[in-house]
Structure formats: structure tokens, C-alpha cells
């Protein structure tokens, strides 16, 4: 190969590498699932699958890898709609009541919602919580777990106005700006991040009973 050919080959290789790096930066996460059009059409992460490596934010707004957060420690993860939701606040209180039992079994408790970090801090104070809350305002976790869905236009308008939400609105297939929420869910994983139990209900008014969560956690191999 001549010097000129070597130079061209090197230039082509550099261009290819640059293109691949650019695509990696702009492409969505491989674990991200489409946002469902309704709470009944989600495709959630299932038992036997592993929690993906995705970024959420802590109370200070710092990015945290969810996989690293649960690494080497069995975890109870629960997705909730936000601190503005009375059903979510009731659930957070119930989980606070059983946190001591979960800790004795070796579990940590982590709540995930689209609330911004400052709203998480308000929820911590309001509900007198000791466990971890993380922000998923960018929908990374909700989409990776297959729980994200578009609310209807009516619900989007009502919640944004009545609850004075600051959530980012997302475009659906029709190009309409909608509020995206998670279907409330509970996941229990072992220390490797493998899912052993899940409770998912499209009816946001119905949540997993504390006794059910404790029983499921007691059956997870340590």
C-alpha cells in the first residue's frame, strides 16, 4: 500500500471512529423502551431480568448509576408518580413503617419518581422519610423498566394546572405535548440486581400491601 493510500485509509478510519462516537452520544440508551400510550400498554421489566445501568439523580442533583446504587445489596425499588399524589404519599408512609424490618433482612429501600431533586427533599421532610429517593425527571429509569406512559391530554392539562407540576412535557407519536408518568410499581432485587419480585398495577390507586412486600423480601435469596 502506497503512502497516499495509507493516508486515505487512516483518514477514513478516523472519520468512521468519529461517526461512531457521535452516534453513541446522541443515540438513546439501548435499554430504553418506548413510552406507552396508556398505563395498560406498558412492557415492564420482568422477573429474571436485571436492573439496567441507567442514570438518575440524587437529592443534590448529582447523577447516580442505579446499578451501582443497588450493587452488592438486596433492594426494594418502588416507582411512584410524585410527591403531589396522595396515593403515593400514603404508600411512602407505609414503606417508612416497614423500613426497619427490611433493613433487618438486609434490604435497602429506594423510591424513584419524575420529581426534581428539590421536590424529593420536600417529600422527605413532609413524610419524615429515612430511605433513599432519586429523581428520574429524564425518564431514564421509567423507560428502562418499561413503566413510562403518556397521560391523556385532559389529564395532562388538569395535573399541570391543578397540581402546579413542573414536570417536563414530552411529545407523543401525534406530536402532542403530554405529561409522562410511571405506572406505580415495586421491584425486589438480589445483590446482583436480578429481579425476583415485581408488583405493577395500572390502577394508580392500588398499591402493594406492606405485608406482601415483606413476605416477598423474606423469600429472596441473600
Buried b (16+ CB within 10 A) or exposed e, 119-131: bbeebbeebebeb
Q: What is the pLDDT of residue 71?
A: 85
Sign of CA dihedral 111, 35, 176, 137: positive
Sign of CA dihedral 9, 10, 15, 18: positive
Confidence of residue 145 (pLDDT cuts 50, 70, 90): very high
Interval 171-180: pLDDT, tens: 999 999 999 9
Cα of 213 vs its chain's centroid, Å: 19
105 vs 8 pLDDT, higher one:
105
pTM for the full predicted model: 0.85
Q: Is the pLDDT of residue 90 over 90?
A: yes
Q: What is the pLDDT of residue 198?
A: 98
> Is the CB of residue 47 less than 8 Å from the CB of residue 147?
no
**Integer Cα distance of 111 and 132 in angstroms:** 6
Among the residue ranges 5-19, 71-85, 157-171, 194-208, the one predicted with the least confidence is 5-19
Q: What is the pLDDT of residue 172?
A: 95
9 vs 111 pLDDT, higher one:
111
Confidence of residue 72 (pLDDT cuts 50, 70, 90): confident
Task: Give 174-197 as a 3 state SS string.
Answer: CCCEEEEEECCEEEEECCCCEEEE
Share of the chain above pLDDT 70, in %: 86
DSSP three-state, residue 171: strand
The order of strands in the sheet holding 55-57 is 63-65, 55-57, 132-135, 108-113, 75-79, 185-189, 195-200
Interval 2-54: pLDDT, tens: 554 444 544 443 443 333 333 333 334 446 899 999 999 999 999 999 999 99
Beta-bridge partners for 195: 189
User: What's the whole-number mean pLDDT along residues 143-153?
Assistant: 97
> Is the CB of residue 45 less than 8 Å from the CB of residue 66?
no
**Integer Cα distance of 143 and 45 in angstroms:** 10
Q: What is the pLDDT of residue 2?
A: 55
Amino acid at each position: 500500500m502506497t503512502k497516499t493510500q495509507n493516508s486515505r485509509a487512516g483518514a477514513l478510519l478516523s472519520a468512521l471512529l468519529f461517526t461512531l462516537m457521535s452516534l453513541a452520544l446522541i443515540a438513546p440508551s439501548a435499554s430504553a423502551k418506548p413510552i406507552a400510550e396508556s398505563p395498560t400498554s406498558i412492557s415492564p421489566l420482568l422477573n429474571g431480568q436485571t436492573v439496567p445501568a441507567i442514570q438518575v439523580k440524587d437529592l443534590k442533583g448529582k447523577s447516580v448509576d442505579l446499578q451501582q446504587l443497588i450493587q452488592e445489596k438486596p433492594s426494594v425499588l418502588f416507582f411512584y408518580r410524585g410527591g403531589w399524589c396522595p396515593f403515593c404519599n400514603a404508600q411512602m408512609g407505609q414503606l417508612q413503617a416497614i423500613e426497619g424490618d427490611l433493613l433487618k433482612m438486609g434490604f435497602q429501600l429506594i423510591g424513584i419518581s419524575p420529581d426534581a431533586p428539590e421536590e424529593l427533599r420536600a417529600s422527605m421532610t413532609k413524610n419524615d422519610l429515612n430511605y433513599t429517593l432519586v429523581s428520574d425527571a429524564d425518564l431514564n429509569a421509567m423507560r428502562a423498566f418499561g413503566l413510562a406512559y403518556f397521560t391523556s391530554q385532559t389529564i395532562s392539562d388538569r395535573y399541570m394546572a391543578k397540581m402546579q407540576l413542573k414536570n417536563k412535557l414530552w411529545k407523543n407519536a401525534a406530536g402532542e405535548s403530554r405529561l409522562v408518568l410511571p405506572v406505580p410499581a415495586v421491584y425486589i432485587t438480589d445483590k446482583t440486581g436480578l429481579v425476583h419480585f415485581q408488583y405493577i398495577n395500572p390502577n394508580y390507586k392500588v398499591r402493594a400491601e406492606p405485608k406482601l412486600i415483606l413476605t416477598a423480601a423474606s423469600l429472596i435469596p441473600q
